[in-house]
Structure 1
Amino acid sequence: MLTLTSGAVQVIRTVTANPELPPETGIRIASGVNGSQTLSLSVAPAPEAGDEIVEEEGARVYLEPGAAELLQDKTLDAQVDPQGDVAFTIGDSPGTPA
């Protein structure tokens, strides 16, 4: 299952903390079409049917089934640069064989 770093948890909680958004708002990761390993990330008000839900310390990530398969042994991290732009990165989970 996808794991979240503390940086990812902080960024996701900040992005989804808008009081005008539903309380179950999270980040949704979807895979590309036709088996592509391209991933897209968006803010989602709730999971879609079939999504896997990863929740840690109030940060919610909804994984479309194809994305869940691609990311099953990965870690999601996030950083904010000095201009306020967010960059999400995906890496191997600690303890994953190389």
Structure 2
Amino acid sequence: MLALTENVTEIVKKLAEEVPAINGLRIAAEPDGQSLSVSPADQAASGDQVLEQDGATVYVDETASVMLADKILDGGVDAEGNIQFALGDQA
């Protein structure tokens, strides 16, 4: 199952606090089956895996959950306030 770093949980919690319509993030596979998208979400879509960690919620669609089963999601905010995410292998 996808794991989240402390950085990501803090980013997700901050987004949810600042924008009431957002409850978490959703990770979905793109139609090409190779790429992933990350977007704010207010709820899970049908078939989504729901990850709750340290007060943060991330929804992962079925295809993406298979692709990310052995991954860890990290993230950060750059100087302009843009959120960036990176995937790594779980130890």
Judge same fold: TM > 0.5, yes or no. Answer: yes
TM-score between the two structures when normalised by the length of structure 1: 0.86
Q: Aligned residues: percent identity?
A: 35
- Alignment of structure 1 residues 58-77 onto 2, 5 Å: 58-77=55-74
In the TM superposition, what are the counterparts of 1:45-64 in structure 2 within 5 Å? 45-64=42-61
> Match for residue 30 of structure 2?
32
SS of the equivalent of 1:89 reads strand
Structure 1 runs (4+) greater than 6 angstroms displaced: none
Determine whether 1:88 maps to 2:51: no
Distance 1:92 1:59 in 2: 21
TM-score, length-scaled by structure 2: 0.92
Structure 1, unmatched stretches of 5+, are: none
Task: Measure, in 2, the Cα distance between the counterparts of 1:78 and 1:15.
Answer: 13
* Secondary structure of 1:50's aligned partner: coil
Q: Which digits, 9 at most, give the CA deviation of each residue in 1:1-52, with x for residues without a partner?
A: 0000000111111112136326xx1100000115x21001111100011000
3-state DSSP of counterpart to 2:17:
coil
Higher Cα radius of gyration: 1
Q: What RMSD over aligned residues (CA atoms) do the two structures have, in Å?
A: 1.3
Q: Distance in 2 between matches of 1:83 and 1:60?
A: 24
SS of the equivalent of 2:75 reads strand
Q: Structure 2: 5+ residue runs without aligned partners? A: none
